[in-house]
Amino acid sequence: MSADFSAITVTLVGPKAPPAGGMANQTAQLKQLLENSGAKVSFVAVNADYKPAFIAKLPVIRALFRLPQYCCALYCSYAKADVIHLMANSGWSWHLFAAPAIWLAKLRNKPVLVNYRGGHAEVFFQRSWRLVASSIRQSAGVIVPSIYLQQVFNQFKQTSTIVPNILDPKLFYPSINDKTAKPFHLIVSRNLEAIYDVATAIRAFDRFLPHYPNAILTIAGSGPERPALEALVAQLALTGTVKFVGRLTSSEMASLYRSADVMLNSSLVDNSPNSLIEALASGVPIISSNVGGIPLLVKHEFDSLLVPPAQPELIYQQLCRLHSEPALKQRLIANGLESSKRFHWSSVSLILLTQYQQAMAKKGIGI
C-alpha cells in the first residue's frame, strides 16, 4: 500500500515527452502515481510546445521565447501549491529551467524540493557550483535517485536524501512463458546517443552471433546516432539479425523486456538508469558497463554482470556465460527481482511523503 498524499497539492516541474527519455518517463509516472495516491498535481513542462509553433525552428531565439511563458506558468501554478517538486538536470537545463523555478518559489514563499538527476553532475558542479549553490540554498532540500549522486553532492558539502526512481510492478514483471524454443533475444533500451555507446553492444553481438546463430538483437530507442549505428549493422552484415524498433511506449517497452533473454547496456556515462531497474523487475539478466552510478545500483555477479566500458569482447564473454550457464542466469534473475522491490511505489512513496512534509514544515504549511 502506498502513502496517502490526499491533503497535498503539488506543482510538478519537469520535461514531457517527446523526447521520452528517462527523466520525462519518471516525471510522467510520478504525476500519475501521486494522483492515484490522492494528491492534486499541477504539471508545468520545462519543454512546453512553442506558441507560435514556427519559433521552434529558430535556435537560441526559441529558448529566450519560451522562458517568459515558462516563468508565467510557474508563477500561476505556485499560487495553490503546498510544495513544488522540481526535476532538475545539469548544464543549460539548470540555468534556464531549474534556477528560475527555485527563485520564483522563493518569491511566492513556497517550498521547493530539487530532485536532481543529472548524469554529468560532477563535471557541471566543478564548473558552476558557486552559481548552482546560490539557487540550491533557496530550496527546501535536495533529493536524488542514487547513492552516486548523493556522493557527488557530498563532495560539494551539500546534503541530499535518496528517493529512488519509481518502478510500476503492474507494468514491469517477468514473463511466465518458456523462451527456450525461441531465438536467443538480446535487447538494448537506451537512447541512440554517443554517451550510451550502442555501437559497443552491436560489436559484442557480432562476436556472439557466429557461435550462437539463433540469436537476435532488438534496439529500442531513438536519437542522432541511429544513422551511424544502422551503417555499422550493415557493415557487419547483421541487417537480418539486428532490428531497430525506434522509441516505444512504456507498455511496449514492458512487452519487449518480457520477450528478452538478456539486456545489454554499454553506456559511457550514467547515473541510475531506469532501463536497468525495469530489466531487473522483468526478470531479464543484465550485462552492463560499470560506469558512473551503475555499480551502486546493481552488483556484479549478484543481480548483473558488469564490465569496463567500450569493451565488446568482455560483453561477448559474459554473453557466452549466460547462454551456457543456466544456474548463473537463474541466480541473476532471482536476485534482480528482489533488488527491484526497493523501487516499487509502495516503498518510494513513504520516503517522498516524508520529504514533502519536511519541506512544507519549513514554510509553516501543515497537512
Note the CATH number of domain 185-342.
3.40.50.2000
Residue 20 has pLDDT above 70, yes or no: no
Judge whether 9-167+344-362 and 185-342 match in fold. yes
pLDDT in tens, 92-145: 899 999 999 999 999 999 999 999 997 789 999 999 999 999 999 999 999 999
Residue 317 has pLDDT above 90, yes or no: yes
Name which of 14-23, 26-35, 95-104, 311-320 the model is least confident about: 14-23
Cα 212 from Cα 184, distance rounded (Å): 8
- Name the strands in the sheet holding 216-220, side by side, starting at the edge strand that comes first in the sequence: 242-246, 216-220, 185-188, 262-265, 286-289, 305-307
pLDDT value of residue 86 = 98
pLDDT value of residue 88 = 96
Name which of 179-183, 228-232, 337-341 the model is least confident about: 179-183
* Rounded mean pLDDT, 16-25: 77
- Supply the Cα-derived Rg of the chain in whole angstroms: 21
The set of residues, in sequence order, having a beta carbon less than 8 Å from that of 150 and lying 6+ positions away, is: 144, 160, 161, 162
pLDDT value of residue 177 = 86
Q: How confident is the model at residue 52 (pLDDT cuts 50, 70, 90)?
A: low
Mean pLDDT, the chain, rounded, equals 93
* Rounded mean pLDDT, 336-343: 96
pLDDT value of residue 60 = 64
Residue 56 has pLDDT above 70, yes or no: no
* Rounded mean pLDDT, 279-303: 96
Residue 19 has pLDDT above 70, yes or no: no
Domain ranges of the chain: 9-167+344-362, 185-342
Angle value at C-alpha 111, between 107 and 116, nearest 5 degrees: 105
CATH class for the domain made up of 9-167+344-362? alpha beta
pLDDT in tens, 72-98: 999 999 999 999 999 999 998 999 999
Residue 174 has pLDDT above 80, yes or no: yes
pLDDT in tens, 211-260: 999 999 999 999 999 999 999 999 999 999 999 999 998 899 999 999 99
Would you say 269 and 326 are in contact if contact means Cβ atoms under 8 Å apart?
no
* Rounded mean pLDDT, 22-29: 88
Residue 2 has pLDDT above 80, yes or no: yes
